[in-house]
Homo-oligomer: A and B are copies of this chain.
Amino acid sequence: MSGRMMVVRRSRRSADEAKAEILKAAERRLKDGGPEAVRVQLVARDVGLTDAAVHHHFGSREGLMAALLRHCARDLRATLQSDIAGWRGGVPDLARLADLFADFYERRGYARLALWLSLTGVRDKGGGILNDLVDALHAIRVARFQQAGLRAPERADTQYLTALIHTTALGDALLGDAMTRSAGLSPGTAARVGFRRFAIQVFERLLDAPR
């Protein structure tokens, strides 16, 4: 590509547009090749920018990776919000929730990205990306406990339950096959599907008031 073409292409983009395109390219590379495949040089080439331009927008490779994880967190949060809004009659769709986590963490590679950032020492101070899920699950639990004539559970209890659902999804995305094999289950899809179904039943039981 000639220098003139670069100038023309770049001048058409605002800073926000450029950042969005860079993140989109980085997301594709993450999905196809994992964190190691997300390199400033390659991403810059994907979107027709110079390395320097990518560095200008994100500071460093670590900065790009952290921005990518924040981008994912926003996306996950928005998807969750719309999913939760669809829980008719206070019945949460935990199977759909498990699919959502599997899509983000396993298929799109975000579990490995989160781990990569953690190992690189990039500290993410953010928290509460599942706050909407906690709120929705807690409202359901409070209603069910009250209906059973029981004292409502503490919010912290539902926060721990949400963290358990999240931890299970993460571990399953990273090493699910090894986990089912460790318990003597045959390798393959059947064990993975069976495991997810089992976990969902466990979480559904935990939403109910104890009998």
Contact surface of A with B, Cβ cutoff 8 Å: 34, 112, 114-115, 118-119, 124-131, 133-134, 156-157, 159-164, 166-172, 174-176, 178-185, 187, 194-195, 198-199, 202, 206, 211
A contacts with B: majority SS: helix
A159 touches B171 (CB 8 A): no
Bound state CA distance, A175 and B114, in angstroms? 8
Nearest B residue (CB) for A118: B175
* Contact residue among B34, B126, B168, B183 (Cβ-Cβ distance under 8 Å from A119): B34
Residues of B contacting A174 in the complex (Cβ-Cβ under 8 angstroms): 115, 118, 170-171, 174
For this complex, 25 residue pairs linking A to B, each with C-beta atoms less than 8 Å apart, are: A115-B115, A115-B174, A115-B175, A118-B178, A128-B183, A131-B184, A134-B183, A156-B185, A159-B185, A160-B195, A160-B198, A160-B199, A162-B183, A163-B179, A163-B185, A164-B198, A164-B199, A167-B171, A167-B172, A167-B195, A168-B171, A170-B171, A171-B171, A171-B174, A202-B206
A195 touches B114 (CB 8 A): no
